[in-house]
Structure 1
Amino acid sequence: MRVLRIGTYAEALAASGAHPFVRYEFAPEAPLEGLAHPGGGAVALVRHSAKRGAVLSLIGRRLDALAQMLAQPEVAELLFAEARAGLISVPAPLLDDLRERFRLGPGGDWEWMVTTVNPPLSSAEGRVLELGPEWAERLIAFLAQHNPRTDGEPFARAGQRWVGVVDDGVAGAVGELAACGCAEPNQGGILALAGITVRPDRRGEGLGAAVTAALTRPGVRADGAVTLGMYADNDSARRIYHALGYRTEVVFASRVVTARERRG
């Protein structure tokens, strides 16, 4: 099999079978680095994450074609173009294929979601407040304590919007954070959510849904879609997001990998 090199959004969208991840995670006007299966339905694209750097993502409608691509030397060349170890994301069913091809390092499994509809109004949404840069230190501490795996980085980049729910303070003092979340533009230019966190003693009150809905509605209105990623073991978060209109389009296994030593 001879993989095809692609360098435009239009080529990637067509070769992936118009996969939503390609549609919403890449900018139509920007050049890209990628490979495509000659039979269609599978691509390997370099995606740039604000926190994790370059990630080679295998995406498409055909698992068989993705598995075939994973075995091609051109994929390894693209993966290790800048270093001897690379970060790759494949659909979770291909984790064993990934293990056969490369030596696996740290990583995790996560779900990529998107919505194109306005969420229903949350009962607690009226309590959601805008949080400015003066909240940065408190947000960082809050996330470190209650959601250390998050990709949310308070006010680390321009374009972030942080919101939260704050407890009533004593004698006019500012209260403690009960919940927070962020929306910021992704590589494709549409809003992606991160850092959705609720303090453990306040869970079950609808605060996570309220924060998510408040961040989602403006993005759907402006761009027609909003995305988010969540760790695949977070069942309670999944229920909340799905109830708000998000749909899981792909479950990824992401790993840092190195090349296997050749024998012989």
Structure 2
Amino acid sequence: MREVRALPVDRLPGDVPFLRWHLAPSRVHGAWRRGAATGVLADRRRGRSLVVLGPADDAAALVAAVLDDAAPALVTLPRGTPDLLQAREPAVGARLVGGDDWDWAWTASAPAAPLAGEEHVAVLDVGALERPGPDAAAVADLLAAASPRSSVQPGDAHARAWFGLRRGDRVVACVAATGDDGGPAPHLASVATHPDLRGRGRGAAVTAGATRHLLREAPAVTLGMYADNDVARRMYTRLGWTWAHRFSSRVVRPAADAAA
């Protein structure tokens, strides 16, 4: 019978892309192994999180065993794990609510040849929350029109840089490079193209331009996207990104609340 066992946080598997590129070891407070699944408890941008990687069957058993002791505010699990927990461990499954399904990818290379329009990609001056830069309002307007679910907005402190394409006084495509969880790879978020200009390669150009810029100093670049965004998935695949993880993130309710 496979058991859940604790892992030293300095001995996490180095061949798991999310652990290698996205999480800073200094933010990891605990780790566990069950079969082929690895779970880590880490301080992430949205709070203390239990991230589990590996097959859903082993992941469900790991979560059921460590959830009370780990006491995370959030869990990020392999796709299908919440449904398994609802079926096999309903008391645990009932505590996982809300959240999103999303996919995680990475790349260590930009397209070999620049894309059409990539030469116009510029670093935007978005500034900070207390002192917005000249591009802040234009980026906010674009995200409101093109990507209202965007996880990063102008003024967010963890956004290291913004890249975009301008058309007159408007920003018509953008992407943020963040340092979400302290790992060695910048993380792309809030990729958006104005609805009136979609299908013309601007999203691909701004993504490729930002990636090429960031890879001058970083070993890799990562991104996350909502699982239902098939158009974006096709674009990133054409650009050479590797899809590594299919996640479901959920908020963890206290056991007393779930039982009520």
**TM-score (norm: length of structure 1):** 0.83
- C-alpha separation between the residues in 2 aligned to 1:55 and 1:26? 11
Match of 1:76 in 2: 68
Match of 1:37 in 2: 33
- C-alpha separation between the residues in 2 aligned to 1:77 and 1:150? 32
Matching of residues 42-53 of structure 1 within 5 Å: 42-50=37-45, 52-53=46-47
Match of 1:3 in 2: 4
The answer to whether the Cα contact below 8 Å between 1:193 and 1:227 also exists between their aligned partners in 2 is yes
Cα distance change on mapping 1:12 and 1:118 into 2, 3 Å: same
The answer to whether the Cα contact below 8 Å between 1:107 and 1:256 also exists between their aligned partners in 2 is yes
Match of 1:223 in 2: 218
Q: Deviations over 1:51-97 (max 9, x none)?
A: x222211113x44322221221x2332134xxxxx311111121212
Deviation at 1:142, TM superposition (A): 2.3
Deviation at 1:2, TM superposition (A): 4.7
The answer to whether the Cα contact below 8 Å between 2:53 and 2:78 also exists between their aligned partners in 1 is yes
Q: Deviations over 1:157-211 (max 9, x none)?
A: 266211111113xxxxxx2221111112342132110111000000011010011
Residue 170 of structure 2 aligns to which amino acid in structure 1?
E
Residue 183 of structure 2 aligns to which amino acid in structure 1?
G
The answer to whether the Cα contact below 8 Å between 2:118 and 2:206 also exists between their aligned partners in 1 is yes
Match of 2:111 in 1: 119
Q: Which runs of 5+ in 2 are unaligned?
A: 128-132
Match of 2:101 in 1: 109
- C-alpha separation between the residues in 1 aligned to 2:234 and 2:216? 23
Residue 81 of structure 2 aligns to which amino acid in structure 1?
L
**TM-score (norm: length of structure 2):** 0.84
User: Share of identical aligned residues, percent?
Assistant: 33
Deviation at 1:38, TM superposition (A): 5.3
The answer to whether the Cα contact below 8 Å between 1:2 and 1:38 also exists between their aligned partners in 2 is yes
The answer to whether the Cα contact below 8 Å between 1:7 and 1:33 also exists between their aligned partners in 2 is no
Cα distance change on mapping 1:109 and 1:126 into 2, 3 Å: same
The answer to whether the Cα contact below 8 Å between 1:3 and 1:35 also exists between their aligned partners in 2 is no
Match of 1:165 in 2: 165
Matching of residues 18-33 of structure 1 within 5 Å: 18-28=15-25, 30=26, 32-33=28-29
Q: Which runs of 5+ in 1 are unaligned?
A: 81-85, 169-174
- Greater Cα offset, 142-151 or 194-203: 142-151
The answer to whether the Cα contact below 8 Å between 1:161 and 1:184 also exists between their aligned partners in 2 is yes
- Greater Cα offset, 228-237 or 126-135: 126-135
- C-alpha separation between the residues in 2 aligned to 1:181 and 1:235? 18
Cα distance change on mapping 1:95 and 1:58 into 2, 3 Å: same
Is it true that 1:54 corresponds to 2:48 in the alignment?
Answer: yes
Residue 164 of structure 1 aligns to which amino acid in structure 2?
G
Q: How many residues end up aligned between the 2 structures? A: 243
Residue 107 of structure 2 aligns to which amino acid in structure 1?
T
- C-alpha separation between the residues in 1 aligned to 2:192 and 2:70? 35
Q: 3-state SS of the aligned residue for 1:204?
A: coil
Cα distance change on mapping 1:254 and 1:98 into 2, 3 Å: farther
Query: How much is the aligned-residue C-alpha RMSD, in angstroms?
Result: 2.2
Match of 1:185 in 2: 179
The answer to whether the Cα contact below 8 Å between 1:112 and 1:227 also exists between their aligned partners in 2 is yes
- C-alpha separation between the residues in 2 aligned to 1:24 and 1:252? 16
Residue 54 of structure 1 aligns to which amino acid in structure 2?
R
Cα distance change on mapping 1:152 and 1:92 into 2, 3 Å: same
Q: 3-state SS of the aligned residue for 1:145?
A: helix
Match of 1:243 in 2: 238
